């Protein structure tokens, strides 16, 4: 039922008493006329209640009060002598509004819902009915209606029943003040109580799914000490999915999937939740307007803004200052020194969704937490003509390129930066073509003369202004960090010849697996934290520590495992020449990759001293035999059959893949006989715990 219908019903609920008053007081106002008015009024009130019941499945306090009042009026004028009966008619309006005033005050005094609840429940989703904000707002609105009805009673009584004071003035109070106030006050209250605080969009790049996966980085355990809870997100649309945040022992972890009994469940579109996270819409107002719905602990929902800071934050001493510094102007002074201007040159051909972008934004968030002013330039979005080597910028128009594209503006930004950050995926052991073109077009910043320093000649800088340091951010699919050697050599030569110190190298191998694929995403949290720490260090200390650089380069997956998985992944392309599925879904379409992924997401803390072997005998589209061996806190993937497995799972490949993709519920599929299990069935029940997001 639309709110417009509810509003119309509320307005028409006044018709019965208006009809009674008009008919009773028109003309000579005889007792017979009054009785007709009473019968017409009570019939109209009864019709109103029946209509409301049919359309909204309930009646309001207002409708019931009108019906009761008119029923008493009908009984009064038929039973009482004419003199007393007419006296009631004379003061009926005053008596009516006194009754309505009491109707607004008494219910909550006796533990019932406030006067406006029935109407408010028709305007707002059921998920908000039990929130403290919903009750507070309705109590405030109810007391305003109490005052309006009392004012209407006083107006009618002082006007001695004249239509101006008994009908027109009360209608003005109801229609011009009561109804608009009831509609506008909730938004006013929520804006005052929970003011929306817009956040930097750079903190929320990517999808809602990316945002939630990074929420543990900003978890504030001090907000609710001792909290133990699970928060289930069910986000629809692009960038959404089923995700769970688990809070226990002062820690927060992320996994994908569904929790059997979550403390709080949030249903929303991915787009709406991203807007809420960015502060474009405050959470209570969005809930009242039905942009998302919840089930479970509403108090936990109201504390989420305190529990989770922007996703790049953490509880380290440096990051605890993050939100405070976001409120400062970028030109703020810190310790008597102007804030650092950081310019990031992002050279990925997939600028907003690349692995390099994810790593870069964590680094910039760390720099911002130390008061730096940051800006990202996405070269894919710029018009940059390749350098043609005409040397016009050195001869005819010194410092000015012949091409009038986006590069002159970018050169001005480079000159104004204190730190240059070059972010590029590794393409052919080098920078991307986009970044190479940008670097070539930086020639106007150099003077053509050759100057010897030590044993090497170089071109001096044309301008005294410019960056005093640079940072390299890069990712690659290879498992070894040595594949960055050629790229590192290029930037070290730029450091030597251009006199710009290379103060940090953020190099992440195996990025295509570690930073992107769902089943390994949890293992990337340490990498994101290290990238954030690198941003802190470069602003605070002037350089990224070698320890932080090394933590970024540590292999998350054994080299042999990664190579095997990559080869299987590429084989799937060769077999599927049509390529109708998205690349990101390939890993969930091959049993070998799925089982390898299960081994990689093995949770040793959940396993304890468990020693077991899980055999998979697979039929269907991809038949085969594989087993997982668990022991000494590790899990390994094996091909073939185990001699004496603890648990044997016999399943068609398409069934197990559907369970892994959460298209099927594992327990229900087992009960329906879609797959079979032999041996230790308690081990089957523990798979969700033993294997991360599986």
pLDDT at 69 over 80: yes
Q: How confident is the model at residue 18, as a pLDDT?
A: 73
Q: How confident is the model at residue 224, as a pLDDT?
A: 82
The winner for highest mean pLDDT among 283-287, 656-660, 675-679 is 675-679
Q: Nearest 5 degrees, angle CA 691-CA 245-CA 525?
A: 70
Chain position carrying tokens 């910039």: 364
Q: How confident is the model at residue 152, as a pLDDT?
A: 86
pLDDT at 240 over 90: no
Q: How confident is the model at residue 347, as a pLDDT?
A: 94
pLDDT at 665 over 60: yes
- Considering the domain 344-557 in this protein, what is its CATH number? 3.40.50.360
Backbone angles phi, psi at 124, to 5 degrees: -125, 155
Backbone angles phi, psi at 331, to 5 degrees: -95, 15
Q: State how far the Cα of 76 lies from the Cα of 82, in Å rounded to an integer.
A: 10
The whole-chain average pLDDT of the chain stands at 80
- Asked if residues 67 and 17 have their Cβ atoms less than 8 Å apart, the reply is no
- Considering the domain 576-690 in this protein, what is its CATH number? 3.30.1050.10
Percent over 70 (pLDDT), the chain: 80
pLDDT tens digit string along 3-38? 566 567 766 777 877 777 677 666 666 777 778 888
Of 183, 251, 180, give the one whose Cα is nearest residue 222.
251
Contact residues for 254 (Cβ-Cβ < 8 A; gap 6+): 212, 213, 214, 215, 216, 243, 244, 245, 246, 521, 522, 525
pLDDT tens digit string along 370-424? 889 999 999 999 999 999 999 999 998 999 999 999 999 999 999 989 999 999 9
How many CB atoms are located within 10 Å of the residue 72 CB?
A: 15
Residue 651: pLDDT band with limits 50, 70, 90: very high
- Asked if residues 252 and 245 have their Cβ atoms less than 8 Å apart, the reply is yes
> How far is residue 518 from each of residues 58, 261, 507, measured CA to CA in Å?
47, 23, 21
pLDDT at 337 over 80: no
Q: For domain 201-307, which architecture applies?
A: 2-Layer Sandwich (3.30)
Of the given ranges (303-317, 352-366, 630-644), which has the lowest mean pLDDT? 303-317
Q: State how far the Cα of 62 lies from the Cα of 64, in Å rounded to an integer.
A: 5
Q: How confident is the model at residue 26, as a pLDDT?
A: 65
Based on its alpha-carbon atoms, the radius of gyration of the chain, rounded to whole angstroms, reads 35
Average pLDDT of 111-122?
Answer: 72
pLDDT tens digit string along 518-557? 445 556 677 888 999 999 999 999 999 999 999 888 776 6
- Asked if residues 161 and 91 have their Cβ atoms less than 8 Å apart, the reply is yes
Q: How confident is the model at residue 692, as a pLDDT?
A: 58
How many CB atoms are located within 10 Å of the residue 195 CB?
A: 9
Average pLDDT of 591-618?
Answer: 85
Q: How confident is the model at residue 648, as a pLDDT?
A: 95
Selected residue with higher pLDDT from 158 and 344: 344
pLDDT at 662 over 60: yes
Q: Where are the domains of the chain?
A: 3-193, 201-307, 344-557, 576-690
DSSP letter at 320?
G
Q: State how far the Cα of 616 lies from the Cα of 360, in Å rounded to an integer.
A: 40
Identical fold between 201-307 and 576-690: yes
- For residue 53, what is the enclosing H or E element? helix 31-56
3-state SS, 658-670, equals: HHHCCCCCHHHHH
- Asked if residues 363 and 532 have their Cβ atoms less than 8 Å apart, the reply is yes
Residue 581: pLDDT band with limits 50, 70, 90: very low
């Amino acid at each position: 039922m639309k709110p417009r219908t509810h509003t119309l019903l509320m307005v028409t609920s006044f018709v019965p008493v208006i009809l009674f008053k008009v008919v009773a007081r028109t003309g000579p106002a005889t007792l017979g006329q009054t009785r007709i008015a009473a019968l017409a009024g009570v019939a109209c009130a009864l019709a109103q209640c029946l209509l409301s019941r049919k359309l909204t499945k309930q009646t309001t306090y207002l409708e019931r009060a009108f019906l009761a009042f008119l029923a008493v009026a009908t009984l009064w004028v038929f039973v009482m002598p004419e003199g007393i009966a007419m006296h009631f008619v004379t003061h009926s309006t005053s008596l009516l509004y006194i009754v309505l005033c009491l109707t607004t005050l008494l219910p909550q005094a006796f533990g019932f819902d406030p006067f406006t609840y029935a109407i408010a429940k028709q305007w707002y989703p059921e998920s908000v009915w039990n929130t403290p904000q919903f009750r507070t707002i309705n109590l405030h609105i109810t007391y305003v209606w109490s005052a309006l009805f009392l004012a209407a009673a006083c107006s009618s009584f002082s006007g001695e029943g004249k239509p101006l004071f008994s009908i027109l003035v009360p209608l003005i109070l109801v229609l011009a003040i009561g109804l608009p106030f009831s509609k506008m006050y909730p938004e006013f209250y929520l804006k005052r109580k929970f003011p929306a605080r817009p956040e930097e969009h750079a903190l929320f790049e990517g999808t809602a799914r990316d945002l939630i996966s990074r929420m543990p980085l900003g978890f504030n355990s001090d907000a609710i000490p001792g909290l133990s809870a699970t928060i289930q997100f069910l986000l629809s649309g692009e960038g959404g999915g089923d995700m769970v945040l688990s809070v226990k022992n002062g820690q927060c972890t992320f996994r994908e999937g569904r929790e059997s009994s979550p403390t709080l469940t949030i249903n929303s579109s991915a787009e709406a939740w991203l807007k809420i996270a960015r502060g474009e819409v405050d959470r209570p107002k969005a809930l009242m307007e039905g942009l998302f719905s919840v089930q479970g602990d509403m108090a936990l929902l109201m504390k989420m803004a305190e529990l989770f800071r922007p996703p790049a934050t953490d509880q380290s001493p440096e990051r605890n200052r993050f939100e405070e510094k976001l409120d400062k102007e970028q030109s703020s002074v810190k310790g008597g020194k102007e804030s650092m201007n950081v310019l990031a040159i992002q050279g990925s051909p997939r600028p907003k969704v690349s692995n390099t972008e994810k790593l870069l934004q964590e680094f910039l968030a760390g720099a911002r937490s130390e008061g730096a002013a940051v800006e990202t330039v996405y070269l894919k979005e710029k018009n940059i003509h390749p350098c043609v080597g005409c040397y016009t910028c050195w001869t005819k128009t010194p410092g000015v390129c012949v091409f009038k594209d986006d590069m002159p503006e970018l050169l001005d930004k480079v000159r104004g930066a204190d730190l240059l950050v070059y972010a590029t995926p590794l393409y052919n052991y080098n920078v991307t073509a986009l970044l190479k073109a940008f670097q070539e077009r930086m020639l106007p910043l150099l003077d053509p003369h050759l100057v010897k320093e030590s044993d090497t000649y170089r071109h001096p800088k044309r301008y005294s202004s410019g960056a005093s340091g640079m940072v390299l951010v890069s990712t690659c699919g290879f498992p070894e960090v040595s594949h960055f050697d050629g790229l590192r050599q290029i930037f070290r030569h730029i450091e030597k010849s251009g006199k710009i110190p290379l103060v940090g190298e953020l190099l992440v191998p195996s990025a295509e697996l570690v930073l992107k694929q769902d089943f390994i995403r949890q293992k990337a949290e340490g990498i994101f934290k290290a990238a954030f720490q690198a941003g802190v260090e470069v602003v605070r200390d002037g350089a990224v520590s070698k320890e932080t650089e090394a933590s970024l380069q540590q292999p998350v997956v054994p080299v042999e495992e990664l190579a095997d998985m990559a080869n299987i992944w590429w084989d799937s392309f060769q077999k599927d020449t049509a390529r109708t599925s998205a690349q990101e879904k390939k890993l969930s379409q091959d049993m070998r990759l799925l089982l390898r992924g299960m081994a990689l997401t093995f949770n040793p803390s959940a396993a304890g001293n468990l020693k077991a072997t899980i055999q998979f005998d697979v039929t269907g589209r991809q038949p085969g035999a594989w087993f997982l061996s668990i022991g000494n806190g590790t899990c390994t993937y094996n091909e073939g059959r185990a001699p004496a497995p603890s648990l044997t799972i016999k399943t068609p490949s398409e069934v197990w893949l559907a369970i892994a993709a959460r298209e099927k519920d594992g327990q229900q599929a087992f009960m329906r006989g879609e797959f079979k299990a032999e041996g230790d069935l308690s081990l089957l029940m523990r798979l969700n715990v033993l294997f991360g997001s599986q």
